[in-house]
Amino acid sequence: MKSRTLIALAGLTALTLALVGCSGGDSGSSKNATKLEFQTGQAVDSTILAQLKTITKKFEADHPGTEIDLRTSTSSYESDIKVRLASGNVPDIWWTHGWSLLRYSKFLTPLQGQAWAKNFNPALDAAMKNDKGQFFAFPVDTDVAGILYNKSVLSDAGIDPASLTTWDAFDAAAGKIKAKGVAPIVSSGKAAGPAGNLADWISPGAHSKAQLAGLSKGTFDNAQYTKVLDLIASWQKDGYFNQDYVSASADDIAKALGTGKAAFVFSQNNTASQALTYNPDAKIGYIPVPSLDGGKPYLIGGEMNAFGISKSTKDMKTAKAYIAYLASPENAAVLAKAAGSIPGLTDVKPDLGVLQSSYDTVVKPGDFPLVPYFDRVYLPNGMWNTMVTTADSVVTGGAGSVKTGVSTMSKDFDRLYGQNK
């Protein structure tokens, strides 16, 4: 999930009341009782949330009088957080989903002075540290993503995943998979994000360095983004998406991947962890993303699952103690495994489970470049929702959806770039 347009002012009061928690200290039954609100950013069935619940119960048992109020995510998490921050009703702790530095740092307390901070993974420096060496969230994982796939599905169709280094090869594989009665690509028009991931994954390889520099300076390239949506449109035309695309939830995506009802998912690795809850024996891996301009395939990475502390919390001591508890090697290892990614701290041993072989083959040798999420670096704040809706319109096959989608992206880019300067 990335940035979305702020809701209308008229809805501010209602939304704020709906989300209100106990920010800061709570008098409770004892003058020393503390209740901290933690906006986890996780869905109710998230494997990360399940581990957070277990770890938090242990923390509360060790800290009588302390309650950590774990809140689950809505489909409008980013907008919700924006409203909370704008209204001053700030959660004590919240999931920063890739934006702890660029978007939220002015609301968060710096954490580089904490004892666990010496183990901060330097691979995250560029994404999470400012020029003073400060960082503002505990990194659960170091996000390295590609295209997830079900190994059994590809094997049954006679496809070697290592051969999928171009979109032509990917398309040919998708045709073979469809012929087997399996959906080549599973995504969702219902969940707020999967459709946008399609464009976000493809876009880095559709732009040259010069074109990326142009985006950073305020010039949107209609021709290159047309190529991105054209590729998605070709998949729609060939029937490569799951038939329940419109109604599918994020959970349905994970289930389809785990049970072999779909071959590929454009998603972070936590989807693989969720898929295993439906089929513990599922064999899942990931491949680098092919480049649309014929260049080298790449991986996508940066900050993903990270938790920051509000600098206005009324109980900073307890909040820091809780984050330190999550950052202990034992607990951090459990959380990173649930995320399906490399740990965010160097003193935590990676346990990637079903994805270990992909990490050893694709990531560890360092043969493929790691690029940042396209929307976070090259699009102005507020564009994520536009990416989702325009890609979704292409998947659902609306007449003229590519042309309309590119036009909408271009107009929103110009409007928001000016606002965010």
**Count of the separate structural domains present in the chain:** 2
Query: Amino acid letter at 76?
Result: S
In a domain, 123, yes or no: yes
The verdict on 271 and 310 lying in the same domain is: no
Q: What are the b/e assignments for 59-90, b being 16+ CB within 10 Å?
A: beeeeeebbbbbbebbebbbbbbbbbbeeeeb
**Is residue 307 domain-resident?**
yes
Residue 180 neighbours by CB distance under 10 Å: 12
The string of DSSP codes covering 260-316 is: TSEEEEES-THHHHHHHTT-TT--EEEEPBPPTTS---BEEEEE-SEEEEBTT-S-H
| In a shared domain, residues 203 and 230 | yes
212, 327: one domain: no
* Residues 182 and 117 occupy one common structural domain: no
Q: The CATH number of the domain where 402 resides is what?
A: 3.40.190.10
Cα-Cα end-to-end distance for the chain: 22
* Blockwise average pLDDT, block size 10, the chain, 421 residues: 37 37 38 87 92 98 97 87 93 94 94 98 89 97 94 98 98 98 97 94 96 95 97 97 96 97 95 94 98 93 93 96 98 93 92 91 91 90 92 91 97 89 56
Could you say which of 363, 386, 403 is where a domain stops? Answer: 363
Condensed to tens digits (0 to 9), the pLDDT of residues 349-388 reads 888 889 999 999 999 898 999 898 999 889 998 899 999 9
Residue 26's pLDDT is: 38
User: Are residues 224 and 96 part of one domain?
Assistant: no
Does residue 2 belong to any structural domain of this protein? no
Same domain, yes or no: 231 and 325: no
User: Which residue, 317, 335, 363, sits at the end of a domain?
Assistant: 363
Its pTM surpasses 0.95: no
Cβ neighbours, 10 Å, residue 143: 28
Q: Say yes or no: 378 and 261 in one domain.
A: yes
- Residue 120 covered by a domain: yes
**Amino acid in the structure at residue 224:** Q
The secondary structure of 3-16 as a DSSP string is --PPPPGGGHHHHH
Assess whether 17 and 85 both reside in one domain: yes
pLDDT digits (tens, 9 = 90+) for 197-219: 999 999 999 999 999 999 999 99
> What does the alpha-carbon distance between residue 26 and residue 115 come to, in Å, rounded to a whole number?
27
pLDDT score recorded for residue 23: 38
Note whether 185 and 266 are within 8 A (CB): yes
pLDDT in tens, 296-343: 999 998 888 999 999 999 999 999 999 999 999 999 999 999 988 899
Identify whether residues 270 and 400 lie together within a single domain. yes
DSSP string, 43-84: -TT-HHHHHHHHHHHHHHHHSTTEEEEEE---TTHHHHHHHH
With a CB cutoff of 8 Å and minimum separation 6, the contacts of 9 are: none
Give the HSE-up count for residue 156: Cα atoms under 13 Å, Cβ half-sphere. 18
220 and 271 part of one domain: yes
Contact 261, 183 (CB under 8 A): yes
Provide the domain limits for residue 241.
146-301+369-420
Q: Angle 232-236-239 (CA atoms, 0-180°, nearest 5)?
A: 140
Residues 334 and 226 in one domain: no
CA dihedral 251, 253, 258, 262 (to 10 degrees): 160
End-of-domain residue from the set 339, 363, 387 = 363
Are 13 and 153 contained in the same domain?
no
Pick the closest to residue 404 from 245, 273, 253, 222 (CA basis): 222
Q: How many angstroms separate the CA atoms of 196 and 320, rounded?
A: 34
